[in-house]
Structure formats: structure tokens, C-alpha cells
């Protein structure tokens, strides 16, 4: 099989993906679509998983459903998904707490939090990708959680809908929603709600990982931030926040500080917190494409 739009090296990778799928009893066509869509070129095809595509991983006593043909997030889960974020979750959440995961993806942190907050607590999982939602729901069911609520939408401070699509290295994110992008068809229309609409009183912790739309999510939850003063775990990328939220990185972080939050980088190596001001963080930023996870703590 030859893909004219890809390089010989990429074509070799796709041959290997197809061969691996055949050897493991999976659909090679679907595996090729997913790897092309998320690693090389966007696709207009939705490649939904079936029973033979689901693999169960046991991680720390939790059963997690992954899609064996998906090439962005599922391999990370198999290798150990964001352990530094998990460590931070566990340091903050207590039985009875309410946790909101915005950009819950396939539900790794949702499952961890559901166990941490217990039957008296509550976890709200916000995720617009339908395939991610299916895996999340399977995980919730397998572990017998009754404290998880799924909200299958995007969050934003503007609009009633947005354009959502995969891109290289990711299984989904908000994209430009102009007429040209919609006509090309590399994505889908998803509904939009506000963080204030889904956050119950007494929210303890919010995690936001939405591929550059984090500031828009925070803007949609100002009432919640004032009312509950929750801690916030937030992914941050200078490049993505400029492109998606339309704000300069220093301006975005200074705005967060103005809300009465202190910033700390969650060190990927060991989960240790490194406090920094907005100016210090941006001054030491190594590359526009770098991505860090931040803990925003209310003063």
C-alpha cells in the first residue's frame, strides 16, 4: 500500500502499523486511518473502535480501557500516563471532594480521582471527542464507579458550538471555526458550555488540558473561581495559547495571577512543584513548542 502524500519514511511506518494490526487480529485499515490522522495528515474519516480494538490495562488496581489502534494517547497510557499529574491529584483530593476534568480524554485521571474522592465525592468528566467518551464510559463501568458524570461537550467563554478535530500528535482539540475550515471537513461540530454551567458548588480541584483553549475555559468559569477558589492543574503551551486562545503567554499567566492564583510548574521528572512568577516562567521558556503542566493555587 502506497500513500502518495507521505514520505518514504512515513510510508514505512504505516506498513509496520498495518502489519502489526494484522498480526494481532486488529483491523489494519482502521489502524492506518488513525495513525495517518493523528501522526501524519488529517482525515475526514471517523474510525470508530469495536470490541476487538479495546484492550484492558490494570494500573494501580484500576482497569483502564484503551484503543489498541490509536497512536496518540493509548501508547502513553500503556507506558505510564502523566505520573506527575497523578501525583498532584493525589496530594490534593480527599474523600468527599468534587473534581472536574476538562479535557478528560479517555479517562485515566477520571478513574484515579473517582477512587480518591470515594462514594461521597464527585467527578465531572468533560470531553467532546465521542470515541474518547466511549473508552471513558467503559472504564467507569468496569471499575464500578457511580460518582462520575460525563459531560460530552467542549467548554468556552464564547459561542454555542465550536469546530473540533484531531491533529498530529493529538486525538482532538478545538480548531479555527471559519467557513473554509468547516468546508474542508477535517473535524466535527461540537456543542459548547461554560465551566460555570457544569461546576457544582464546593468544587475542590479542576484539571484543564484542552490543547491551548485553557484560558477560554477559565474565562467561562470566573464565578466558580471566585466562589470556590479551587486549585487548578493546567497544561500550558506558549504556542498553543497564542494560536487557540488568542492571547500572549505572559499576558495569560499575568491574568491568572491577577485572579489571585500562584503558579508552580509540576516537574515531569518527579512531580515536585517549582513555584514561579509569570515573568520567571516565560523568561525561562526553552522553546515555543514546549508544554508544561502547572498547578495554580489560590492565595
pTM: 0.89
CA gap 280, 53 in Å, rounded:
45
Residue 75 lies in a domain: no
Torsion of Cα atoms, 59 then 293 then 166 then 159, to 10° = 120
Q: 165 and 32 in one domain? A: no
CA gap 65, 132 in Å, rounded:
10
Per the structure, the count of domains in the chain is: 2
Residue 66 lies in a domain: no
Residue 68 lies in a domain: no
pLDDT by residue (tens digit) across 50-79?
898 899 999 999 999 999 888 778 888 888
Residue 23's pLDDT is: 81
Q: 41 and 116 in one domain? A: no
Structural domain boundaries, residue 294 = 80-298
Residue 28 lies in a domain: yes
Question: Cell 486549585 maps to which residue?
Answer: 231
Residue 253 lies in a domain: yes
- CATH code of the domain containing 218: 3.40.50.150
Q: 13 and 153 in one domain? A: no
Confidence of residue 167 (pLDDT cuts 50, 70, 90): low
Q: 287 and 176 in one domain? A: yes
State the average pLDDT over residues 194-212.
Answer: 97
Q: 122 and 15 in one domain? A: no
- Measured CA to CA in angstroms, residue 262 lies from 109, 220, 221, 258, 288 at distances of 23, 20, 18, 9, 22
Q: 42 and 130 in one domain? A: no
Q: 28 and 102 in one domain? A: no
Q: 161 and 100 in one domain? A: yes
pLDDT by residue (tens digit) across 145-165?
999 999 999 999 999 999 888
Q: 10 and 136 in one domain? A: no
Amino acid at each position: 500500500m502506497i500513500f502518495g502524500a507521505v514520505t518514504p519514511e512515513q510510508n514505512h511506518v504505516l506498513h509496520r502499523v498495518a502489519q502489526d494490526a494484522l498480526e494481532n487480529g486488529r483491523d489494519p485499515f482502521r489502524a492506518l486511518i488513525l495513525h495517518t490522522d493523528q501522526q501524519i495528515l488529517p482525515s475526514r474519516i471517523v474510525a470508530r473502535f469495536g470490541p476487538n480494538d479495546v484492550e484492558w490495562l490494570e494500573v494501580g488496581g484500576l482497569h483502564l480501557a484503551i484503543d489498541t489502534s490509536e497512536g496518540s494517547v493509548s501508547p502513553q497510557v500503556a507506558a505510564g500516563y502523566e505520573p506527575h499529574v497523578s501525583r498532584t491529584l493525589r496530594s490534593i483530593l480527599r474523600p468527599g471532594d468534587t473534581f472536574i476534568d476538562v479535557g478528560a480524554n479517555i479517562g485515566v485521571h477520571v478513574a484515579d480521582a473517582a477512587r480518591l474522592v470515594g462514594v461521597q465525592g464527585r467527578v465531572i468528566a468533560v470531553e467532546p471527542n465521542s470515541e474518547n467518551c466511549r473508552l471513558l464510559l467503559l472504564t467507569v463501568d468496569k471499575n464500578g464507579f457511580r460518582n462520575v458524570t460525563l459531560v460530552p461537550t467542549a467548554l468556552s467563554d464564547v459561542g454555542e458550538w465550536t469546530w473540533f478535530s484531531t491533529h498530529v500528535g493529538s486525538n482532538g482539540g478545538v480548531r479555527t471555526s471559519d467557513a473554509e475550515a468547516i468546508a474542508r471537513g477535517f473535524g466535527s461540530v461540537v456543542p459548547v458550555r461554560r465551566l460555570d454551567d457544569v461546576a457544582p458548588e464546593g468544587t475542590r480541584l479542576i484539571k484543564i488540558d484542552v490543547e491551548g483553549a485553557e484560558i477560554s475555559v477559565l474565562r467561562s468559569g470566573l464565578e466558580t473561581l471566585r466562589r470556590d477558589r479551587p486549585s487548578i492543574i493546567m497544561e500550558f503551551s506558549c504556542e498553543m495559547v497564542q494560536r487557540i486562545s488568542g492571547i500572549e503567554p505572559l499576558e495569560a499567566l499575568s491574568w491568572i495571577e491577577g485572579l489571585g492564583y500562584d503558579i508552580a510548574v509540576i516537574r515531569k521528572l518527579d512531580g515536585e512543584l517549582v513555584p514561579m512568577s509569570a515573568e520567571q516562567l516565560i523568561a525561562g521558556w526553552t522553546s515555543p513548542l514546549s508544554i508544561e503542566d502547572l498547578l495554580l493555587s489560590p492565595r
